[in-house]
Amino acid sequence: MRTFYGTALETPLMLGTAQYPSPAILAEAFKASQASVATVSLRREGSGGEGQAFWDMIRDLGVRVLPNTAGCHTVKEAVTTAHMARELFDTRWIKLEVIGQTDTLQPDVFELVEAARILTEDGFQVFPYCTEDLVVAERLLGAGCEVLMPWGAPIGTGLGLSNPYGLRTIRARFPDVAMVVDAGIGLPSHAAAAMEMGFDAVLLNTAVAKAGDPVQMARAMALAAEAGAAGHAADPMPPREMAEPSTPVIGQAFLS
């Protein structure tokens, strides 16, 4: 499995920590998912009380924490939030979100690249939430990012992979870059499809947290991500326009 800033993850699933019915269900869902990474928004944390209890529970999960800058709309806001997260969570990892469009939560790619440059120069290991645009990807890599997180679809929509061509293209254009499909995954089949394309992990939240049975859905996502990764590693057959018999006709008996 590809490494993320030198860290190899045990499983290709990253899971968010928001919107679960209860802390107990969140913990059970994480156990069922066997996720290697938990994403956490700084806005869910406080200096004590419920914030401290939440942080204690996340630490008890025994997974790597990826703080994010969710809700930030400017470079200054994202950079400030990242610095606070590094101090609180004691990690250089940061999932960088700079939102530019309210309805779709589409990243502001101009602000995103600038924030990524500032943070990498300050020693952060940046996981930028971006679109599947090749030019944006090149700019982020040039800014020092070693990981890309293109969206599958807008956050929380569950639409799946809305632009498979774009995702395949960005994966093929940068074969040596660690990539995570982030956002829009609603079904296990979406997670499997992303992994079959050759992505290194998937990150999701709402599909599990808002499911009727979050624990069962978490397990389904884990199995789907694993199956998709195994399918990609198996070098699947290319699609064909014409049928081809699976049983050869050479040597077949002819009856008269």
Residue positions annotated with a catalytic role: 95
Q: Over the Cα atoms of the chain, what is R_g?
A: 20
Q: Torsions phi, psi of 196, nearest 5?
A: -65, -30
- Residue 191, number of CB atoms within 10 A of its CB: 33
Residue 67 has which token pair?
Answer: 């703080």
Residue 31 burial by CB count (10 A; 0-12/13-18/19+): exposed, middle or buried? middle
Q: Reduced to 3 states, what is the DSSP secondary structure of residue 73?
A: coil
CA distance 14 to 34: 9
Length of the chain: 256
Rounded CA-CA distance 202/190 in Å is 10
